[in-house]
Amino acid sequence: MMPTDSQNPEISVSDLLLYINCPRRVYFVSRGYELLPEINASRLERMLLKELSLNYSEIVKKCSLNADTMCKELEAALTYACKDLPLMFPKEFERTEKGFLEEGDARARAKIPEIAANLLKGIEEFGNDAMLAALTPVKTEPIIFSKRLNLKGSPSKIVCFEGANVPSIIRPGSCPIQGVWASDRIHIAALALLLESETGKEIPFGFVEYVSFGIIRKVVIRSSDRREVLKICRRVEKIKAGLMPEKTEEKFCPECTFSEHCVSNSSLMSKFF
Ligand code: SF4
């Protein structure tokens, strides 16, 4: 007999992203192991760029096509982000070495000219109104739950574009030459499915903001993306219910927090028999 929805462990969009990273990580996190990404200058740089990006819409509104003013506004906003970050994440900062924040700030600051240039390029290419619509949040980090999908998640923003409220995610990492990374496509599709179940309206697209570059990309959601999300949801449910996925050779293994617990299934069996 198929289990009913209420018997399935609740899953979140972050589980799906963890699964794309490595299915076994879902297993460890669901069993209470803490995923502790190292707090180093590079992580702080990404955190600062994420905070900085929340000001992009205000800055675009103020600066229009003036590059110098835009750089100055971005620098001022980064200074505030640097002051605010330790207050927003006190737990993380307890275990952060002194000097990492300054280094993260310097790295983020070095990106400002490129961010300003790309924001201005976006305004020229798509127009001020379209850029503002794509950047300006109608809601920031709302938590959405769908009983039907047994899934919860939180888009970085919901923006109103061409009359539709659509999800937008903030990605502080690298930016592909064209389009978006495959994991970002799945992320947007999962959030669109959640929003659709809340509003009953089809969400045909979403946005990914590659904030370290000031680049925003529109993603059209395909049926194949929706299918992939639903497939991953079912696999994640099984893992959270107790299934240990097969260990695969992962590029993330050397730096993985769980590597000491993570042995191959055959080694695990040999411990018991
Ligand atoms: S050690 Fe490798 S296989 Fe195991 S959870 Fe980490 S990334 Fe996945």
List, for residues 140-171, the tens digit of each pLDDT value.
Answer: 999 999 999 999 999 999 999 999 999 999 99
Rounded Cα–Cα distance for residues 169 and 183 (Å):
12
Rounded Cα–Cα distance for residues 145 and 197 (Å):
9
Cα–ligand 1 centroid distance for 248 (angstroms):
8
Q: Which atom of ligand 1 is nearest to the CA of 28?
A: 5
Q: Which of 252, 260, 261, 263 gets mutated to test ligand 1 (max ligand atoms within 8 A of its CB)?
A: 252
For residues 235-264, average pLDDT: 83
CB 70 within 8 A of CB 214: no
- Determine the pLDDT at residue 270: 44
Q: Identify the weakest region by mean pLDDT among 67-81, 92-106, 189-203.
A: 92-106
CATH 3.90.320 fits 11-240, yes or no: yes
Q: Which atom of ligand 1 is nearest to the CA of 256?
A: 6
**23 CB less than 6 Å from ligand 1?**
no
- Determine the pLDDT at residue 273: 39
Rounded Cα–Cα distance for residues 61 and 90 (Å):
32
Rounded Cα–Cα distance for residues 144 and 140 (Å):
12
| pLDDT higher than 70, residue 253 | yes
Cα–ligand 1 centroid distance for 222 (angstroms):
30
**166 CB less than 6 Å from ligand 1?**
no
List, for residues 68-97, the tens digit of each pLDDT value.
Answer: 889 999 999 999 999 999 999 888 888 777
Q: Between residues 103 and 250, which one has the greater pLDDT? A: 103
- Determine the pLDDT at residue 7: 66
User: Rounded to the nearest 5°, which phi and psi values hold at 187?
Assistant: -60, -50
**134 CB less than 6 Å from ligand 1?**
no
Q: Between residues 264 and 18, which one has the greater pLDDT? A: 18
Share of the chain above pLDDT 90, in %: 70
Which residue, judged by its Cα, is nearest atom 1 of ligand 1? 259
Here the tokens at position 88 are 């927003």
Neighbour-count burial for 83-95, b at 16+ CB within 10 Å, e otherwise: eebeeeeeebeee
CA atoms within 13 A on the CB side of 112: 23
Cα–ligand 1 centroid distance for 177 (angstroms):
28
Domain ranges of the chain: 11-240
On average, the pLDDT of the chain sits at 89
For residues 51-58, average pLDDT: 94
- Determine the pLDDT at residue 211: 95
| pLDDT higher than 50, residue 264 | yes
Share of the chain above pLDDT 70, in %: 91
